[in-house]
A and B are shown apart, each in its own frame.
Chain A
């Protein structure tokens, strides 16, 4: 993890370590956040707050920075050489760049689901309990319990309970994605990040995942990046529209889709963009 130290976080440290009291409304808070890949600035002065146990959708055309922002929440971009940032992101009141917090323990608090369902080359069971295994938890009873709970939460239990030992690749595309969701929630994270979780799924599987998102928000704070505006409208409570690395408009989803204040937002959500 030597590359983690490369990340600069000077401005954040210079400021007085004012810990923002986490409230329901600013559970995830992005403050004056800028982000660069090498010399290319991809995020510009972002300020936004995402409420707890709600779904926040990030929308915008390709290359607008929405995925970059999402991947910064669990510091996935640390892996990219020469990535650096200015400003701060707090989750539950704690800065994710706090030098006292290890990246690994941060990632344990934040589950992530990717665009392409990418189960590990293991059995269904081992996929679900992976995050516990890597954390050194190997007690059978605990793993069994977590596996069942996570699979139930991901609405997959009934479909796979008789074949937990089979390879994860024996599942259908939609089941695989739900398996990835089960894997992401096995560790009881606080936040679930979803990077276009349905873009590779058929409508039926998409519908199931959407239902699942709607269920999961009872417990988790969800941030979802999607290219499908109908999906953003259906599943999210708040929607942020990004363009060229800037946050153009951020409001309740209903407002964004019914009565956007910004012309670009209007053009984008009505499909008249560009």
Chain B
């Protein structure tokens, strides 16, 4: 019996330690799950089409609406008003609702709080329409009629109303694409030609003496320019004409509060009746919103539209960074591990590398700006792009400098991981290679590196995870709020290392802190955050899959 008692005691003693350690894990897990959960919930719910309510208000209790007695909107939160207890019953908190009311052009705001006491009636009229517009965000209103360019009208209760509106919006969308194509591609191509003519002219004019042939080419340049300028004019006029066409047909709608508004169809991207949708209708709108978010370009100071350029920029930058950091880090690790004799110098280098990992990232940004952008980029500009000066080409922030700066920042991670991977290659396998008559470098190149590839990839994964989420240094070396073009496109030479780019992390910062309407951008902050996390997870997953493949291929000999 005594033995049993002792045994029990020992077991209990052990269990406390188990509980204690599991508590640590549990806390960490709870925090991570909660964080991810909040981001995921908020990020995803942005895209879900919610029902729209119409409130009948007690005008005396609402400020800032004038004498509007009804308003429609989407309930975004219902909370207890803080710091302002009800006068009649101080203990009872007052509930207030936050509504997304849209129609910023009419109200001047798009979110509004209403005390519950001011709300007299809540209804969900089926006729309410949500319009996604090019300007001023969404409108929530009752449609009244469509007016075509030739004066025909279709009333909202006409059975063909929906399909007519849809057709018109599609037509405008096509036209918008056409305008974009005209302005971006054709006019862009002419601009490019003009720029190259200008540079050619500059080159000739900078000569001290002009020869006859120079004068000849100057006049040719002048001719070309007039020719290009005239075709530019034609195209611009064409675009203008199309634009005017966009304004030709109109939609008339009436707000819940009574105002009637006329909007040209060209300003409408899409519409739906939120209170008429069934579940599948909602899902299809939800999917449409998500796809739009992923593939569209941003609108209205990034608060509307999609984030495709930011996704693309993040992806390309992370890729470029990985390509830059891996050979750099691996070579350094090879020297440290394989060649350097373990002395004072090597130890100090190791300490320095570890310290480098702890340097604040903004310091790397400053270094990148000073070294890469101004020194390296400036030198490149002077050597190869002197004609374009003072407009910098490489001497300003660009995706290549951002990638290199991040590569520099993450190189300690790669070095440490690669060193460990190299160290884990067994002595036996090295000796076998040497015994086969291989030299040391052959051994490293043919045996050690393949065997340590999975570990090196782990280092790359860590570097990617760190680099992709970094924002601060990027702001100094090439990230912008809105980039006019992507770093990789169909124009020669296809990869434009010097271009500025958009980045999801910076996008979040910009939406959250630099946006004029922080309420309006909050949903986008969540959605973008979720997207950034998903993107990093996906990059990591791909790298892990590659690593596992390598592991299977090169798994160390154990039996």
User: Are A and B genuine complex partners?
Assistant: yes
B558 to chain A, nearest CB (A): 9
**What are 27 residue pairs bridging A and B, where the CB atoms are less than 8 Å apart in the complex?**
A1-B440, A74-B435, A79-B434, A104-B437, A104-B439, A107-B437, A112-B432, A112-B435, A114-B428, A114-B431, A114-B435, A116-B557, A118-B557, A120-B433, A120-B447, A121-B447, A121-B553, A121-B554, A130-B446, A133-B446, A134-B437, A167-B553, A167-B554, A169-B555, A176-B557, A176-B559, A187-B436
Among B426, B437, B450, the residue within 8 A (CB) of A135 is B437
Q: A116-B428, A169-B555, A173-B559 are in contact. Are A121 and B450 (CB under 8 A)?
A: yes
Determine whether the beta carbon of B557 is less than 8 Å from that of A117. Answer: yes
Contacts of B432 in A (CB 8 A): 112, 114, 118, 120, 180, 183
A184 in contact with B559 given A121-B450, A167-B553 (CB within 8 Å): no
**17 further interface pairs, Cβ-Cβ under 8 Å (given A173-B559, A200-B559):** A1-B439, A79-B434, A104-B438, A107-B435, A112-B435, A118-B428, A118-B432, A119-B557, A120-B429, A120-B446, A120-B451, A121-B450, A121-B451, A121-B553, A169-B554, A184-B435, A187-B437
Q: If the complex has contacts A120-B432, A120-B446, are A131 and B553 also in contact, measured as CB distance less than 8 A?
A: no
Structural contact, A169 and B557, CB atoms closer than 8 A: yes
Task: Contact check, A130 vs B554: say whether CB atoms are below 8 A apart.
Answer: no
B427 to chain A, nearest CB (A): 9
Q: Which residues of the partner chain A approach B354 to less than 8 Å between Cβ atoms?
A: none
Instruction: Give residues in B with beta carbon < 8 Å to A.
Output: 426, 428-429, 431-440, 442, 446-447, 450-451, 553-555, 557, 559
Determine whether the beta carbon of B442 is less than 8 Å from that of A134.
Answer: yes
Is A230 positioned at the interface, with any CB of B under 8 Å from its CB?
Answer: no
CA distance in complex: A130, B434 (Å):
11
The proximity string for A residues 87-128 relative to B, scoring 1 for CB distances below 8 Å and 0 otherwise, is 000000000000000001101101110111111111000000
Q: Contact between B438 and A130 (Cβ–Cβ < 8 Å)? A: yes
Chain A positions 23-49 with a Cβ under 8 Å from a chain B Cβ? none
Give the 7 A-B residue pairs with the shortest CB-CB distance, closest first.
Answer: A121-B554, A112-B435, A131-B436, A173-B559, A108-B437, A134-B438, A118-B428
Residues of B within 8 A of A112 (CB): 431-432, 435
B residues less than 8 Å from A183 (CB atoms): 432, 436
Question: Which of B426, B446, B553, B555 touches A134 (beta carbons < 8 Å)?
Answer: B446
A169 to B433, CA, bound (A): 16
For residue A143, give the distance in angstroms from its CB to the closest CB of chain B. 14
Interface size grouping (class) on chain A: 35 or more
CA A190 to CA B432, docked complex, whole Å:
17
Cα A163 to Cα B156 with chains together (Å)? 74
Query: Of all chain A residues, which has the CB nearest B428?
Result: A118
- How would you classify the secondary structure of chain B's contact residues: helix, strand, loop or mixed? helix
Compute how far the CA of A176 lies from the CA of B440 in the bound complex, rounded to whole angstroms. 23
Nearest CB of A to B308, in Å: 40
Q: Produce 1/0 per residue, A195-210, CB < 8 A to B.
A: 0000010000000000
A160: interface (CB < 8 Å):
no
Name which residue of chain A comes closest to B438, CB basis: A134
Determine whether A248 belongs to the interface, using a CB cutoff of 8 Å to chain B. no
How many whole Å from A126's CB to the nearest CB in chain B? Answer: 9
- Indicate which residue in A76, A104, A117 contacts B431 across the interface (CB closer than 8 Å): A76
Give bound CA distance, A111 to B553, whole Å.
26
Q: How distant is the Cα of A73 from the Cα of B39 in the complex, in angstroms?
A: 66
A115 touching B555, Cβ below 8 Å: no
Select from chain A the residue with minimum beta-carbon distance to B339: A2
CA distance A169 to B454 in the complex (A): 15
Residues of B within 8 A of A110 (CB): 435
Instruction: List the interface of chain A (C-beta within 8 A of B).
Output: 1, 74, 76, 79, 104-105, 107-108, 110-112, 114-122, 130-131, 133-135, 167, 169, 172-173, 176, 180, 183-184, 187, 200
B553 cross-chain contacts in A, Cβ below 8 A: 121, 167, 169
B434 with A76: CB separation less than 8 A: yes
Q: Is A107 in contact with B429, judged by CB distance below 8 angstroms?
A: no
Most chain A C-beta atoms within 10 Å of own C-beta, residue among B426, B439, B451, B557: B557
CA–CA, A77 and B435, complex, Å: 11
The answer to whether B557 touches A107 (Cβ under 8 A) is no
* B451 closest partner in A (C-beta): A121
Interfacial chain A residues near B446, Cβ < 8 Å: 120, 122, 130, 133-134
In whole angstroms, what is the CA distance A172 to B429 when docked?
17
Q: Which residue of chain A has its CB nearest to the CB of B437?
A: A108
Q: A1-B440, A173-B559 are in contact. Are A118 and B435 (CB under 8 A)?
A: no
Q: How far is the CA of A121 from the CA of B447 in the complex (A)?
A: 7
Q: Which chain B residues lie closer than 8 Å to A121 at the CB level? A: 447, 450-451, 553-554
Q: How far is the CA of A116 from the CA of B439 in the complex (A)?
A: 21
- For B433, what are the chain A residues with a Cβ–Cβ distance below 8 Å? 120, 130, 134
Bound CA–CA A176/B51 (angstroms):
68
Question: A residues within 8 A CB of B435?
Answer: 74, 76, 107, 110-112, 114, 184
A118 to B451, CA, bound (A): 11
- Which chain B residue lies CB-closest to A176? B557
Which residues of chain B have C-beta atoms less than 8 A from A104's C-beta? Answer: 437-439
Q: Which residue of B lies closest to A74 (CB)?
A: B435
For A166, the closest partner residue in chain B by CB is B553
CB of B439 to closest CB in A, whole Å: 6
Residues of B with C-beta under 8 A to A79: 431, 434
Interface centre among A108, A121, A130 (most CB of B within 10 A): A121
Known: A169-B554, A169-B555. A131 touches B437 (CB 8 A): yes
Expressed in whole angstroms, the Cα–Cα distance for A169 and B450 within the complex equals: 13
A180–B439 CA distance with the chains assembled, in angstroms? 18
- Nearest to B452 among chain A residues (CB) is A121
Residues from chain B with a CB closer than 8 A to the CB of A187 are 436-437
A132 CB to nearest chain B CB (Å)? 9
Residue among B428, B436, B438 with the highest chain A CB neighbour number at 10 A: B436
Chain B residues with Cβ below 8 Å from A169 are: 553-555, 557
CA distance A130 to B428 in the complex (A): 16
A134 to B431, CA, bound (A): 14
A200 vs B437: C-alpha distance in the bound complex, in angstroms?
Answer: 25
Residues in A whose Cβ lies below 8 Å from that of B439: 1, 104, 134
Q: Which residues of B contact A133 (CB under 8 A)?
A: 446
Q: Which residues of B contact A135 (CB under 8 A)?
A: 437
Q: How far apart sit A79 and B446, CA to CA, in the bound complex (Å)?
A: 19
- State in angstroms the CA–CA spacing of A1 and B437 once bound together: 12
